[in-house]
C-alpha cells in the first residue's frame, strides 16, 4: 500500500511540476526546514532516474529515483549551487537560496545531447545498477543498446562486486553463449575460441592482448562487454563468435572514494582502493586511481597468485568542446603456471583429485603487463566531432615450469603406463609490444526525412615480438650414450635409448607418478637434464584500415550500413636474411536494420563478415606448419530488445547462424605435437535470451539462456564431421538476483542467490573425450551500515565436482570446490 501511495504522490508531483517552466522553483512552507526536493525530467516530460545531484561546495549529493524525484537536506537561509548530470544529457547547474523556514520545490529539465553520450567512455559511467543504457563497442559512437542491430552482453562493476568476482573469466558466466575454454584468459563465444594472446580483445575499444596464462584483477574495470558475432567491420581481425571489450573506470566530476578488504578461502587476501573526483577548483581536471593487491593460494596444489594493479586515469576538460583522457593500467603478477589436472590412463575423471597440479616447488611465472593510452574528443561544430586514441601495450614473461608432455609415459614395448605422466621442463623469457591508433569523425545531420549518424575513420595497429625471446626445453627420453635426448620413444629402435634395470626407456625428465603425487611435486634437481634450445623467432606485423558507417533513421526504422577495408602486412622470417613481406587485404561489409515495434520493443536483423589472418606473427611457432589461409566468416542474426518496469529492466533474444572456414586444429602428430592442420568449414547455430536490470528499485536480476549447435561441417575425416566443437556446450543457463530490504528493522540487509548450468562438452575433435555437465549454486549476504557494507559470498554451495574446460584427459581444468569470501567496503 505504501508503494502505491508513494506512486500517487510522485504522479501528483509530476502533474504539478509540468505546470511550471524548466528550472522553475518555489518555496514550500510545508516542507521541513532546509529541504530541497524536486523532479528531474527530459524535454518530453519523461522521468529521469539515476540523475546525480551534487552540491560540490558541501561534498554532498543524491540521485533521482525511478520516478525522477530527489530530496536533499541542507542548512536553511543559505545559497547553494546544485549540479545535475546524467549520461546522455547536458550537465546543468542551478543556484537556489533556502528560506529561513520551509524548503524549496524544483523542476529540472535536462537537455539530451549526443555529444554528452560520446563522452561516456572518457568522463565515466555514473549509473550504479546492473543495467547499462549505452555502449560504444557496436558502432564507435555512443548508441543505446536497444538501437544496436547486434547482440551485446555485459556486466557492470556493480554486478561484479555483488558476486565477489575478480577475473574476466569468472565474469563471463553471466553472459549467454560465453564460457571458459580453460581457466586462463581463454573463452568460447558461440562455439568459437578467443583468448587473451590473440590480440583480438579490446580495452576501451582498442585492440590489445594479455599474457594469456594469468588473468589480472578486474577492480579497474567499469564493465565487461561482449559484442556477439564478427566485429571485423569496425575492429579488423576478430573471432567470429564475438569480441570482448574491457571498459576501464574513468574519472567522475564528483568525489567518490572507497576502500575494500577481502579475506577468504585458500588464504585469500585482497585490498582494493578506488578514488575519484575533481583535481582542481573548476573541475577542469578530473582524476581516478584504482589500486589492487592480491595474495592468494588456490585449491590447486602449489598454486598461488600475487598481483599488484596500479590504474590511474586523468581527464582534462579545458572547455565544453574538448576532452582529453590519459589511462594507465599496470599489472605485476607473480605465480606458478597451472597446466591442469591429469587423470589415470583409465578415462576415469575421478581417479585423481581435482586439486592435482603437476607443478613442483621450484616453478615460477613472473609477468608484467602495461596498457597506456591517450585519447582526445573534440566537438568541431554542432554536428561534427573528432575522436582519436592511441594505446601501447607491453608484456614480459619469465617462466620456469615442470609440465606434462601431453602424453603418458611408456614402457619397453611402447605401451603407456597408466599412472605415469611424461614430463618436460620449460625455461622461457619473451616480450611483446603492441601499438594501436584509432582516429575517426562523428557526423550528425539529415537529408530530407533521413537522420544520419556517420562514423568515418582510420585504424593503425602493429605487434612486435622482439629479438631475444627464447626457451630451453628438456623432454623426451635419454639416448644410449646418456649425453642427450630423443623426443619420442620407438621400441623398434630400443638400442638407441638408455634403459633402466627393467628394460624401460629412461625419461630425460622423470615421469610424474600419479601413484606417488607428493614425491613428484617436491623441488626437483634439474641440473642433470639435457636441454634443447628453442627460439621464439622475432615477429612483426602491422595493419592499416579505413572504414565508414552510417546509422540512418527514418520514422520507426533505423539502418546501419558500414564497410571496412583492411590491409594486413606480415614479415615472414622477420630479422633474418630470408625476411619476406607478405600482404593480405579484405573488404568487410556490415548491414543492420532496427524496427521500433512499440515504445519499448525493438526488432532487428543484421549481416556481418569477419576475417583473421593466420600468419607467422599470429601463430609464432615454426613447428606449426603452414602457410595457412586466413579465417573467413560471416553471421546472420535476428532478434529483439525490450524494456520493462519504466526502463529498469531490459530483455533481449537473438537467433543466429555463423559460418567460418580455414580453422586450425592440432594435427595430433606424435612426431610433432605442435603441428596444426586446416579444416574446411564449421558452423554455429543458436538461440540466446538475456534479462538484466531491476524488477523493483531494491531488487536486481540478471539471467540468460543459450542453445548453441557448433559443428565442423567440412573436415579431413568423416568421424569428425558434425560433432560438437571442443568446449562448446549445447545448453547454458545463468541466473543471479539480489534483494535489499528497503525499510524496517532489517533495513540495510540484502541477500543474493544464483546458479550456473553448463552442458556436457567435448574436449577434442579427434579424441573421444568429454567432461560432464554441471550446475553450481552461489549465494551472498550484504549488510549496509551508513558508509560501510559487509559482504559474505559463498560459492559452489553443494561442493560440486566439475570442470570448466580442458584440452584432453591430461590437461583438465577443474572448478573450485565450495569456498567463501568476506569483504568489508568503506565509502567516503
Q: What pLDDT sits at residue 582? A: 86
Judgement on whether residues 80 and 167 belong to the same structural domain of the protein: no
**Structural domain ending residue among the three candidates 247, 277, 312:** 247
Mean of the pLDDT values across residues 451-477?
A: 93
Closest CA to 688 of 732, 644, 722, 650: 732
Mean of the pLDDT values across residues 648-668?
A: 89
Cell of 568: 594486413
Range of the domain at 92: 31-114
Q: Is residue 426 part of a domain?
A: yes
Residue 124: band (very low, low, confident or very high) from pLDDT cuts 50, 70, 90: low
Q: Is residue 1 part of a domain?
A: no
Judgement on whether residues 259 and 161 belong to the same structural domain of the protein: no
* pLDDT over threshold 80, residue 126: no
Q: What pLDDT sits at residue 61? A: 82
Q: Is residue 91 part of a domain?
A: yes
Judgement on whether residues 817 and 774 belong to the same structural domain of the protein: yes
**What is the tens place of the pLDDT at every residue in 467-481?**
988 999 999 999 999
Judgement on whether residues 230 and 253 belong to the same structural domain of the protein: no
Judgement on whether residues 330 and 379 belong to the same structural domain of the protein: yes
* pLDDT over threshold 70, residue 346: yes
Q: What pLDDT sits at residue 116? A: 43
Question: 688: which residues sit within 8 A by CB, 6+ positions away?
Answer: 151, 176, 177, 228, 653, 654, 656, 704, 705, 706, 707
What is the rounded distance in angstroms from the CA atom of residue 164 to the CA atom of residue 821?
7
Q: Is residue 166 part of a domain?
A: yes
Judgement on whether residues 209 and 305 belong to the same structural domain of the protein: no
* pLDDT over threshold 60, residue 131: yes
Q: Is residue 8 part of a domain?
A: no
- Radius of gyration for the alpha carbons in the chain, expressed in angstroms and rounded: 29
How many separate domains does the chain show?
3
Question: 250: which residues sit within 8 A by CB, 6+ positions away?
Answer: 121, 122, 123, 124, 125, 222, 288, 313, 315, 325, 327
Residue 125: band (very low, low, confident or very high) from pLDDT cuts 50, 70, 90: low
**What is the tens place of the pLDDT at every residue in 683-717?**
999 999 999 999 998 999 999 999 999 998 887 67
Q: What pLDDT sits at residue 9? A: 37
CATH of the domain at 227: 2.170.130.10
**What is the tens place of the pLDDT at every residue in 434-446?**
999 999 999 999 9
What is the rounded distance in angstroms from the CA atom of residue 128 to the CA atom of residue 65?
12
Question: Which CA distances in Å does 150 have to 147, 561, 649?
Answer: 9, 13, 19
Residue 57: band (very low, low, confident or very high) from pLDDT cuts 50, 70, 90: confident
Judgement on whether residues 334 and 443 belong to the same structural domain of the protein: yes
Closest CA to 224 of 197, 198, 242, 199: 242
* pLDDT over threshold 90, residue 248: yes
Judgement on whether residues 394 and 369 belong to the same structural domain of the protein: yes
* pLDDT over threshold 90, residue 671: no
H/E run at residue 6:
helix 2-17
CB 618 within 8 A of CB 611: no
Rounded to 5 degrees, φ, ψ at 442 are: -110, 125
Q: Is residue 146 part of a domain?
A: yes
**What is the tens place of the pLDDT at every residue in 508-533?**
999 999 999 999 999 999 999 999 99
Residue 88: band (very low, low, confident or very high) from pLDDT cuts 50, 70, 90: low
Which DSSP string do the residues of 22-40 spell out, in sequence order?
Answer: TT-EEEETTSPTTEEEEEE
What is the rounded distance in angstroms from the CA atom of residue 243 to the CA atom of residue 229?
7
Cell of 681: 568449414
What is the rounded distance in angstroms from the CA atom of residue 739 to the CA atom of residue 734?
17
Judgement on whether residues 41 and 76 belong to the same structural domain of the protein: yes
Which DSSP string do the residues of 315-341 spell out, in sequence order?
Answer: EEEEETTEEEEEEEEEEEEEE-----B
* List of E strands, 647-696: 649-661, 664-666, 676-678, 681-696
Judgement on whether residues 667 and 800 belong to the same structural domain of the protein: yes
Q: Is residue 481 part of a domain?
A: no
Residue 18: band (very low, low, confident or very high) from pLDDT cuts 50, 70, 90: very low
Using omega within 30 degrees of 0 as the cis cutoff, is the peptide bond preceding 738 cis?
no
Look at 207-211, 573-577, 732-736 and tell me which has the smallest mean pLDDT.
207-211
Mean of the pLDDT values across residues 274-281?
A: 94
Closest CA to 669 of 763, 811, 761, 766: 766
**Structural domain ending residue among the three candidates 247, 276, 293:** 247
Q: Is residue 525 part of a domain?
A: no
What is the rounded distance in angstroms from the CA atom of residue 16 to the CA atom of residue 29?
16
Average pLDDT across the chain, whole number: 89
Residue 358: band (very low, low, confident or very high) from pLDDT cuts 50, 70, 90: very high
CATH of the domain at 284: 2.40.170.20
Look at 315-324, 389-398, 708-717 and tell me which has the smallest mean pLDDT.
708-717
Judgement on whether residues 697 and 713 belong to the same structural domain of the protein: yes
Closest CA to 536 of 630, 623, 462, 435: 623
CATH of the domain at 82: 2.60.40.1120
Judgement on whether residues 627 and 759 belong to the same structural domain of the protein: yes
Q: What pLDDT sits at residue 5? A: 37
Amino acid at each position: 500500500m505504501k508503494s502505491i501511495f508513494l506512486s500517487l504522490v510522485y504522479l501528483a508531483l509530476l502533474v504539478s511540476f509540468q505546470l511550471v517552466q524548466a528550472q522553475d522553483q518555489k518555496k514550500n512552507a510545508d516542507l521541513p526546514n532546509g529541504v530541497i526536493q524536486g523532479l528531474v525530467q527530459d524535454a518530453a516530460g519523461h522521468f529521469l532516474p539515476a540523475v546525480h545531484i551534487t552540491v560540490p561546495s558541501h561534498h554532498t549529493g543524491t540521485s533521482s529515483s525511478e520516478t525522477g524525484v530527489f530530496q536533499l537536506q541542507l542548512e536553511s537561509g543559505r545559497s547553494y549551487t546544485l549540479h545535475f548530470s546524467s549520461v546522455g544529457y547536458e550537465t546543468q547547474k542551478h543556484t537556489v537560496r533556502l528560506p529561513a523556514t520551509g524548503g524549496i520545490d524544483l523542476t529540472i529539465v535536462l537537455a539530451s545531447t549526443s555529444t554528452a553520450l560520446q563522452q561516456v567512455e572518457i568522463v565515466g559511467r555514473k549509473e550504479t545498477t546492473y543495467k547499462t543504457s549505452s555502449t560504444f563497442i557496436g558502432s564507435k559512437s555512443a548508441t543505446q543498446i536497444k538501437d544496436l542491430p547486434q547482440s551485446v552482453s555485459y556486466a557492470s562493476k556493480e554486478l561484479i562486486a555483488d558476486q565477489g568476482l575478480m577475473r574476466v573469466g569468472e565474469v563471463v558466466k553471466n553472459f549467454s553463449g560465453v564460457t571458459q575454454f580453460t581457466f586462463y584468459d581463454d573463452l568460447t563465444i558461440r562455439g568459437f575460441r578467443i583468448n587473451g594472446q590473440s590480440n583480438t580483445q579490446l580495452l576501451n575499444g582498442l585492440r590489445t592482448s594479455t599474457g594469456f596464462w594469468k588473468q589480472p584483477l578486474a577492480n579497474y574495470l567499469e564493465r565487461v562487454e561482449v559484442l556477439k558475432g564478427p566485429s571485423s567491420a569496425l575492429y579488423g581481425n576478430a573471432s567470429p563468435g564475438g569480441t570482448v571489450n574491457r571498459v576501464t573506470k574513468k574519472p567522475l566530476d564528483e568525489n567518490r572514494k572507497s576502500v575494500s578488504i577481502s579475506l577468504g578461502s585458500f588464504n585469500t587476501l585482497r585490498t582494493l582502493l578506488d578514488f575519484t573526483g575533481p583535481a582542481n577548483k573548476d573541475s577542469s581536471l578530473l582524476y581516478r586511481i584504482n589500486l589492487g593487491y592480491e595474495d592468494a593460494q588456490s585449491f590447486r596444489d602449489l598454486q598461488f597468485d600475487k598481483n599488484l594493479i596500479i590504474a590511474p586515469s586523468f581527464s582534462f576538460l579545458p572547455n565544453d568542446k574538448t576532452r582529453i583522457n590519459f589511462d594507465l593500467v599496470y599489472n605485476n603478477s607473480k605465480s606458478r603456471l597451472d597446466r591442469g589436472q591429469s587423470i589415470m590412463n583409465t578415462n576415469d575423471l575421478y581417479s585423481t583429485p581435482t586439486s592435482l597440479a603437476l607443478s613442483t616447488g621450484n616453478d615460477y611465472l613472473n609477468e608484467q603487463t602495461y596498457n597506456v593510452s591517450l585519447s582526445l574528443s573534440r566537438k568541431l561544430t554542432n554536428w561534427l566531432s573528432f575522436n582519436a586514441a592511441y594505446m601501447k601495450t607491453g608484456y614480459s614473461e619469465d617462466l620456469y615450469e615442470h609440465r606434462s608432455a601431453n602424453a603418458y609415459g611408456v614402457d619397453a614395448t611402447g605401451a603407456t603406463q597408466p599412472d605415469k605422466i611424461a614430463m618436460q621442463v620449460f625455461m622461457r623469457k619473451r616480450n611483446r609490444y603492441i601499438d594501436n591508433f584509432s582516429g575517426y569523425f562523428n557526423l550528425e545531420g539529415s537529408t530530407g526525412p533521413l537522420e544520419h549518424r556517420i562514423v568515418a575513420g582510420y585504424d593503425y595497429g602493429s605487434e612486435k615480438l622482439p629479438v631475444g625471446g627464447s626457451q630451453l626445453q628438456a623432454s623426451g627420453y635419454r639416448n644410449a650414450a646418456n649425453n642427450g635426448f630423443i623426443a619420442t620413444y620407438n621400441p623398434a629402435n630400443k638400442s638407441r635409448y638408455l634403459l633402466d634395470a627393467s628394460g624401460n626407456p629412461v625419461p630425460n625428465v622423470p615421469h610424474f607418478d600419479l601413484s606417488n603425487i607428493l614425491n613428484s611435486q617436491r623441488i626437483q634437481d634439474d641440473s642433470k637434464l639435457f636441454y634443447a634450445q628453442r627460439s621464439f623467432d622475432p615477429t612483426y606485423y602491422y595493419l592499416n584500415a579505413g572504414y565508414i558507417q552510417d546509422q540512418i533513421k527514418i520514422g520507426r526504422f533505423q539502418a546501419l550500413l558500414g564497410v571496412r577495408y583492411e590491409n594486413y602486412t606480415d614479415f615472414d622470417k622477420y630479422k633474418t636474411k630470408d625476411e619476406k613481406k607478405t600482404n593480405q587485404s579484405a573488404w568487410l561489409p556490415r548491414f543492420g536494420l532496427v524496427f521500433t515495434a512499440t515504445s519499448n520493443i525493438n526488432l532487428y536483423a543484421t549481416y556481418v563478415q569477419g576475417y583473421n589472418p593466420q600468419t607467422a606473427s599470429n601463430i609464432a611457432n615454426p613447428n606449426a606448419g603452414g602457410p595457412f589461409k586466413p579465417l573467413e566468416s560471416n553471421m546472420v542474426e535476428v532478434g529483439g530488445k525490450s524494456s520493462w518496469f519504466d526502463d529498469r529492466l531490459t530483455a533481449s533474444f537473438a537467433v543466429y547462424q555463423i559460418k567460418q572456414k580455414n580453422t586450425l586444429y592440432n594435427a595430433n602428430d606424435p612426431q610433432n605435437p605442435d603441428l596444426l592442420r586446416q579444416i574446411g568449414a564449421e558452423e554455429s547455430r543458436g538461440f540466446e535470451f538475456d534479462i538484466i536490470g531491476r524488477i523493483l528499485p531494491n531488487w536486481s536480476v540478471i539471467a540468460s539462456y543459450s542453445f548453441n549447435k557448433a559443428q565442423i561441417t567440412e573436415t579431413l575425416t568423416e568421424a569428425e564431421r558434425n560433432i560438437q566443437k571442443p568446449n562448446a556446450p549445447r545448453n547454458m543457463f545463468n541466473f543471479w538476483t539480489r534483494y535489499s530490504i528497503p525499510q524496517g528493522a532489517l533495513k540495510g540487509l540484502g541477500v543474493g542467490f544464483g546458479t550456473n548450468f553448463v552442458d556436457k562438452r567435448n574436449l577434442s575433435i579427434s579424441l573421444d573425450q568429454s567432461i560432464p555437465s554441471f550446475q553450481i549454486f552461489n549465494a551472498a549476504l550484504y549488510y549496509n551500515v551508513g558508509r560501510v557494507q559487509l559482504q559474505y559470498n559463498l560459492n559452489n554451495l553443494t561442493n560440486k565436482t566439475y570442470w570448466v574446460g580442458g584440452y584432453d584427459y591430461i590437461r583438465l581444468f577443474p572448478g573450485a570446490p565450495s569456498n567463501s569470501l568476506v569483504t568489508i567496503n568503506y565509502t567516503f
